[in-house]
Amino acid sequence: MKAQLLHQCCDLSVKPDPLDFCERETPTAGSGELLLQVIACGVCHTELDEIEGRTPPPVLPVIPGHQVVGRVAAIGEDVCRFQLGDRVGVAWIYSACGRCAFCLDGLENLCPQFQGTGRDADGGYAEYMVVSEHFAHPIPDSLSDIQAAPLLCAGAIGYRSLQLSGLKNGEILGLTGVGGSGHLVLQMVRHRYPESPVFVFARSARQQELARELGAAWAGTSDQEPPEQPHAVIDTTPAWKPVVDALEFLQPGGRLVINAIRKESRDQDQLLGLDYGRHLWMEKEIKSVANVCRLDVREFLKLAAEINIKPQVECYPLAEANRALHDLKIGDVRGAKVLMVEN
């Protein structure tokens, strides 16, 4: 099979083609596993974190990709949830132990043995991949392959972020970034909390325009003062400056939810300007989002189908994965990016 392979971590600014497009042996499904023929795979900022070493794969080489849509091409022994030809998705959560206190409490995203698709196990930047049937998700018929791919991580992690924000209908949500996850959160809020204005903080006019097209009540840069103080803010950026700016504008008692697996160090000096009285006093909260649970993925896919969430998508052929990553790195993002796999 054809696959994009990461052999070593590197800085994309120095090495813009970190992935090797090559032939790899097609994997086989073991007991309880599915072999998927990959149709599409979303491109996520987490791939940049893996490649650039902020959350490095434990073993190299590895095939990245964790927003995977495919069809069941083969079934291992003891599989009972899926049949040949079924269309399924694979998200960031590749496996968890199922036995620890976190897993038993429904918090498998915090499991010490959590494994991420495309980091701890080969992912979807390939023609085929293998996954446990228990960590595969049925894709609703109303969602196309291209639409479904970004929903499996960008959408699911956005869904979890919104849950953690504690937002109530009528309260103002601030949203930093309107990329793969941010533009889906915006659509969710417009449907679930129709009386809640959304203020979007985005660095480019192109992103601000998309935010307004999707129903944002206001859009500006992260350091522009919004018309009112948000009750909650969801940060979907890889940078620190929007975090510090958001804390300044947040209402007393408000909550900032940081939706990122890692933050880049390029503007870490912004944290030196963090002032307790200006940014944190008045019982403001900061909460991080760690991974996703299977339930997040399945609930969000159901919601997306019900309320017709449509991601804005730019497609690339699998062979051009490096170009997609480069565009993501330089911030050329208007919605989500998806690799299309031709078998």
CATH of the domain at 120: 3.90.180.10
Taking CA 60 as the corner, what is the angle to CA 55 and CA 63, rounded to the nearest 5 degrees?
80
* pTM for this prediction: 0.92
Residue 335, pLDDT score = 76
In a shared domain, residues 210 and 262: yes
Q: Which of 328, 317, 326 is nearest to 39 (CA)?
A: 317
For residue 342, the model assigns a pLDDT of: 80
pLDDT at 201: 96
Q: What is the spatial distance between Cα 71 and Cα 61, in angstroms, rounded to a whole number? A: 25
Confidence band, pLDDT 50/70/90 cuts, at residue 266: confident
Q: Are both 181 and 220 inside the same structural domain?
A: yes
**Across-strand partners of 87?**
71
DSSP structure string for 280-321: ITTT-EEEE--S--HHHHHHHHHHHHHHT----EEEEEGGGH
134 and 7 fall within a common domain:
yes
Burial degree of 21 (CB within 10 A; 0-12, 13-18, 19+): middle
> Does 117 lie in the same domain as 180?
no
Residue 324 lies in a domain: yes
Whose tokens are 């600014």? That residue is 13
Residue 230: the pLDDT is: 98
Residues 7 and 35 in one domain: yes
CB 166 within 8 A of CB 232: yes
Question: Are 229 and 162 within one domain?
Answer: yes
Residue 12 belongs to some domain of the structure? yes
* Residue 307 domain flag: no
What letters, b where the CB count within 10 A reaches 16 and e where it falls short, cover 246-269?
A: bbbbbbeebbbbbbbbebbeeeee
* Any domain includes 150: no
Residues 239-255 have pLDDT tens digits of 899 999 999 999 999 99
Residue 299, domain member (yes or no)? no
Q: Are 84 and 35 in contact (CB under 8 A)?
A: no
3-state secondary structure 156-199: HHHHHHHHHHCCCCCCCEEEECCCCCHHHHHHHHHHHCCCCCEE
Q: Are 246 and 233 in contact (CB under 8 A)?
A: yes
In this structure, the answer to whether residues 203 and 235 fall within a common structural domain is yes
Do 61 and 124 have their domain in common?
A: yes
| Segment 131-143, tens digit of pLDDT | 999 999 999 999 9
pLDDT tens-digit map of 28-73:
999 999 999 999 999 999 999 999 999 999 999 999 999 999 999 9
pLDDT tens, position by position, 285-339: 999 999 999 999 999 999 999 999 888 899 999 999 999 999 998 875 667 899 9
Question: Rounded to 5, what percent of the chain is helix, strand, coil?
Answer: 30, 25, 45
- Confirm whether 69 is domain-assigned: yes
**Claim to verify: residue 23 and residue 80 sit in the same structural domain:** yes
Q: Tell me, what's the pLDDT at 42?
A: 97
Q: Which domain holds residue 28?
A: 2-139+312-340
Q: What is the pLDDT of residues 162-212, one digit of tens each?
A: 999 999 999 999 999 988 788 899 999 999 999 999 999 998 888 899 899
28 within some domain: yes
Over residues 254-273, the mean pLDDT reads 88
- pLDDT surpassing 90 at residue 144: yes
Q: Quick check: helix, strand or coil at residue 141?
A: coil
- Number of domains forming the structure of the chain: 2
E strands within the chain? 2-6, 19-23, 33-43, 68-75, 87-90, 93-95, 115-116, 128-132, 137-138, 173-176, 198-201, 218-220, 232-235, 255-258, 285-288, 313-317, 336-340
Domain identity same for 224 and 119: no
For residue 187, the model assigns a pLDDT of 92
Tell me: do 12 and 122 sit in the same domain.
yes
The band of 233, judged by pLDDT with boundaries at 50, 70 and 90, is very high
Cα separation, 221 vs 146, whole angstroms: 30
As a whole number of Å, the CA-based R_g of the chain is 20
Q: What pLDDT sits at residue 306?
A: 93
Contact 82, 34 (CB under 8 A): yes
Tokens of 314: 């730019």
Is the residue at 294 inside a domain? no
End-to-end CA distance of the chain: 9
For residue range 86-124, list pLDDT tens digits in order: 999 999 999 999 999 999 999 999 999 999 999 999 999
Q: What is the mean pLDDT of the chain?
A: 94
What does the pLDDT read at residue 261?
A: 82
The residues near 254 (Cβ < 8 Å, ≥ 6 apart) are 229, 230, 231, 232, 233, 284, 285
**Angle between helices 156-165 and 182-192 in degrees, nearest 10:** 50
CATH number at residue 208: 3.40.50.720
Q: Verify that 327 and 256 share a domain, yes or no.
A: no
